[in-house]
Amino acid sequence: MQKGFSRYKTLYKTFSEKPVRSTCGLCQIGCGILIHVVGGRVTKIEGDLEHPLNRGKLCVKGKRAMDYLYHPQRLRAPLKKSKNGNWNPITWREAINEIAEGMNRIKKKYGAKSVVFMRGAAKGLQDDYLSRFANAFGSPNITSMGHVCFIPRKVASDITYGYYAIGDLEHPPGCIIVWANNVSETLHHVYERIKEAKKKGSFLIVIDPLRTDVAKLADIWVKIRPGTDLALALGIIYVIVDESLYDAEFIDKYTIGFEELQKEIRRYDLDIIEKITDVSSGLIKEVARVYAKKRPSVIQWGNGIDHTVHNFQTARAICILRAISGNLGVPGGDMYFSPPAIKKRGIPELTLQDLVPLEEREKRIGGAGFMLPSIFYALPQLVIDAILKGDPYEVKCVYIQGGNFLLTYPNARKVYEALKKVELLIVSDHFMTPTAHLAHYVLPAATFFEFDSLVLPPYSLPVLSIQQKVVQTSSVKSDYEILRDLSKPLGFGDLFWEEEKECLDNILSPLGITFDNFRETGIMSGKPMPHNHVNHGFPTDSGKVEIYSKKLKEWGYDPIPSIDVERVLSSRLDTNYPFILTSLKRSYFRHSGGKNIDALRKKYPEPLVLIHPNVAKSLGIKEGSYVYVETNLGRIIQKVRIEPHMHENTVYVDYGWYFPEKNAGELFGWDKANINILIGDDPPYGEEFGTPNLRAIPCKITPILDL
Ligand code: SF4
């Protein structure tokens, strides 16, 4: 366990109250913070210098976390919509009883499956509590954003080598490839480490259609065409195999299926890969050679990979690349870090998934048809369809935990129609969002300042951190408390601990400590496990890295990553929509969140669309003007920024925009600049996870002359 809190005790002895160690919960990175509380009010937060992840730094959002807590428009009481559409405050008792009565009524009439539980952006343990509640209620329909965020990479890693590898950036690596990961905007702690490694001599390659801030530091910037990462990964593997740059000893001792890979990869040639990716064959060779020869090398991948129908096989190809080049499991490469031994997120003991029999679980909407058998979620876009069409069965009640789906789900107008049709819609959130405004009940959820929890981020260095309740503003409740209270009138209150802290004690129990014990230190780091495979092999069925996966074959999926070249090239032809739409996330906001924080809006007041100067010139578009961005689904307006350093035919649209300063009755301008007005949710979906295609959508741009 990390050393005590002594440094801060000394540092802050002049304060009337010493700061409380906690974790920022505005996103799932898990940065350590110190919260100063004076007279029952948070007066200041700062980065925790002793926290191994962020080492005292906070991102621009995290620095403004107090603005969320004390925001004048924060939801402070449960609200019920009247028949004329007005919101009226009601007591918690009324809200809980009425919602429970409504859920029970719908369950009796249509069955438990007709009640769907939908999770928004990841909220850590609160997500597991919602699964627990749904399973206790008897519904197999729990959605998450897993199919478009992290889970394709996580499952590909597990299937290929049995764990989620993390780049050992502090070693430092000989070469770092940052792939589809805008670390400078979204992962500041990784960005810091990459900058340090670069200073120590790491060779940096960035694969991104846009010259992001991290790409500006790169030795090689690979300006890839959006959505073609699988082809590029196969191209790099092709060069490594063709030029015998692989680690023959590692392959021989620790992998299965290299011969099948060699056979498969010979189907391609670099000219085809160049045509698909817009990356020259010469550059593909250079990247492959540097990555394989300068080892140990790291591939720092990101969420961009998750957003296409090829997400899982792209991730598999990158996993294979790590293995065959001898960069897996070695210091300075991509390695296993063993997390602190607490009970894991998502285990049946916590989610109670076994309360819903397997045959019932297989009836979850879209689940059994599209997802790898190892994943147990309903598919969000098919839940939307089910609400509208009653197919495969009726969905009458939806409980949304912290999700603003009018902004974050594709085909936003369809989502609007669906949510309007739901007989009983409940949203728990911090603010009145466009989505919450469609609900019948809105429940005021606690921020991370207002409840105790444990944070163990799944996709970076495994550091267990404490989140401590420091204040209680009005009558807000944590998601746990809301679900616990709802469970009682629904008849399964005995399945929830009376206090959330008892659940946290249970999660910590393998360590032999309680949550109160953990308050003493509040930080516990996992351990790097270099060369773990030498003595223990890999935790897969075969004990080896599975380049060829029998399991995938049995489940009906490609056992080796491949790409249908003809299909990829032919699907591009659409002369009506000649540009390639993709999206951009900014450090100021998390998804649609943060648009109501004045300090952040001052820095980034409105959505921007990035357009290449050649395109702007050909269409007569000027910097700072407004344009329509249009697809076959509709059009939106964003302000132009001309960006010379990007893939020329690409149009980068800002994601997650609505305008909380606008009229609630018009849903805060939810459809004016919202990229999800433009993006469809139609099949074909990704075979493994049912992911709709969110990147590389054909679009056009038109200048607006009279705005
Ligand atoms: S990255 Fe920013 S928002 Fe996310 S946990 Fe860290 S400080 Fe908070």
Nearest CA to ligand 1 atom 6: 31
Residues contacting 57, CB < 8 A, separation 6+: 31, 47, 188, 189, 192
What is the pLDDT averaged over residues 303-318?
96
Q: In order of start, what are the domains of the chain with their CATH numbers?
A: 6-69 (2.20.25.90), 79-145+359-464+471-525 (3.40.50.740), 166-335 (3.40.228.10), 565-703 (2.40.40.20)
Residue 91, amino acid = T
- Give the Å distance between the CA of 404 and the centre of ligand 1: 20
User: pLDDT of 100-120, one tens digit each?
Assistant: 999 999 999 999 999 999 999
Share of the chain above pLDDT 70, in %: 97
Residue 263, amino acid = K
User: How far from chain centre, in Å, is Cα 647?
Assistant: 24
| Edge-first strand listing for the sheet containing 41-47 | 20-23, 32-38, 41-47
Tokens of 65: 């976390």
Q: State which ligand 1 atom lies nearest to the alpha carbon of 187.
A: 1
| Per-residue confidence band for 572, with pLDDT thresholds at 50, 70 and 90 | confident
What is the pLDDT averaged over residues 520-528?
96
What is the pLDDT averaged over residues 414-430?
98
Relative to beta strand 463-467, strand 453-455 is antiparallel
What is the pLDDT averaged over residues 132-159?
95
Name the residue of 188, 455, 590 to mutate for ligand 1: max ligand atoms within 8 A of Cβ: 188
User: 3-state class of 547 per DSSP?
Assistant: coil
Name the residue of 49, 58, 463, 466 to mutate for ligand 1: max ligand atoms within 8 A of Cβ: 58
User: 641 forms bridges with which residues in the sheet?
Assistant: 610
What is the pLDDT averaged over residues 188-211?
98
| Per-residue confidence band for 17, with pLDDT thresholds at 50, 70 and 90 | low
- Give the Å distance between the CA of 426 and the centre of ligand 1: 28
Query: What does each C-alpha distance from 414 to 5, 418, 419, 439, 681 come to in angstroms?
Result: 51, 6, 9, 16, 9
Tokens of 573: 């032809």
Nearest CA to ligand 1 atom 4: 27
What is the model's pLDDT at position 7?
47
Spell out the SS3 assignment of 593-651: ECCCCHHHHHHCCCCEEEECHHHHHHHCCCCCCEEEEEECCEEEEEEEEECCCECCCEE
What is the model's pLDDT at position 570?
79
What is the pLDDT averaged over residues 129-143?
97
Q: Which of 9, 46, 699, 116 is nearest to 403 (CA)?
A: 116
Provide φ and ψ at 110, rounded to 5°.
-115, -5
User: pLDDT of 501-511, one tens digit each?
Assistant: 999 999 999 99
Q: State which ligand 1 atom lies nearest to the alpha carbon of 587.
A: 2
What is the model's pLDDT at position 234?
98
Residue 156, pLDDT above cutoff 80: yes
Residue 10, pLDDT above cutoff 60: no
- Give the Å distance between the CA of 474 and the centre of ligand 1: 25
- Give the Å distance between the CA of 463 and the centre of ligand 1: 14
What length is written for the chain? Answer: 707
Nearest CA to ligand 1 atom 8: 62
Task: Report d(CA 140, CA 114) in Å as an integer.
Answer: 10
What is the pLDDT averaged over residues 641-650?
97
Q: At what angle do helices 479-487 and 125-137 cross, to 10 degrees?
A: 10
Which of the residue ranges 573-587, 637-651, 671-685 would you say has the lowest mean pLDDT? 573-587
Relative to beta strand 337-338, strand 527-528 is antiparallel
Q: What is the pTM of this model?
A: 0.95
Name the residue of 31, 55, 192, 590 to mutate for ligand 1: max ligand atoms within 8 A of Cβ: 31
- Give the Å distance between the CA of 63 and the centre of ligand 1: 8
CA-based radius of gyration for the chain: 25
How confident is the prediction for the chain on average, in pLDDT?
95
What is the model's pLDDT at position 566?
85
Strands (E), 250-402: 255-256, 297-301, 334-335, 337-338, 397-401
Residue 101, amino acid = E
End-to-end CA distance of the chain: 59
Ligand 1 — pocket residues by CB below 6 A?
Answer: 24, 26-27, 29-31, 54, 58-59, 61-62, 188
What is the model's pLDDT at position 14?
39
Spell out the SS3 assignment of 80-108: EECCCCCEEECCHHHHHHHHHHHHHHHHH
Residue 245, pLDDT above cutoff 60: yes
Q: Are 194 and 178 in contact (CB under 8 A)?
A: yes
Query: What does each C-alpha distance from 389 to 205, 386, 417, 426, 627 come to in angstroms?
Result: 47, 5, 11, 20, 35
Name the residue of 33, 46, 59 to mutate for ligand 1: max ligand atoms within 8 A of Cβ: 59
Q: State which ligand 1 atom lies nearest to the alpha carbon of 47.
A: 7
Q: State which ligand 1 atom lies nearest to the alpha carbon of 189.
A: 1
User: pLDDT of 254-291, one tens digit each?
Assistant: 999 999 999 999 999 999 999 999 999 999 999 999 99
Which of the residue ranges 214-223, 300-309, 410-419, 698-707 would you say has the lowest mean pLDDT? 698-707
Sign of torsion, CA 670 696 654 609?
negative
Residue 3, pLDDT above cutoff 50: no
Q: State which ligand 1 atom lies nearest to the alpha carbon of 33.
A: 7
- Give the Å distance between the CA of 645 and the centre of ligand 1: 28
Query: What does each C-alpha distance from 260 to 22, 63, 266, 267 come to in angstroms?
Result: 49, 50, 10, 12
Residue 368, pLDDT above cutoff 80: no
- Give the Å distance between the CA of 541 and the centre of ligand 1: 37
Residue 12, pLDDT above cutoff 80: no
Residue 76: count other Cβ atoms within 10 Å of its Cβ: 12
Task: Report d(CA 407, CA 675) in Å as an integer.
Answer: 8
Sign of torsion, CA 106 485 342 299?
positive
Q: Are 200 and 622 in contact (CB under 8 A)?
A: no
Question: 449 vs 707, which has greater pLDDT?
Answer: 449
What is the model's pLDDT at position 662?
96
- Give the Å distance between the CA of 29 and the centre of ligand 1: 6
Q: State which ligand 1 atom lies nearest to the alpha carbon of 27.
A: 4
Strands (E), 68-190: 79-81, 87-89, 115-119, 142-143, 166-167, 175-179
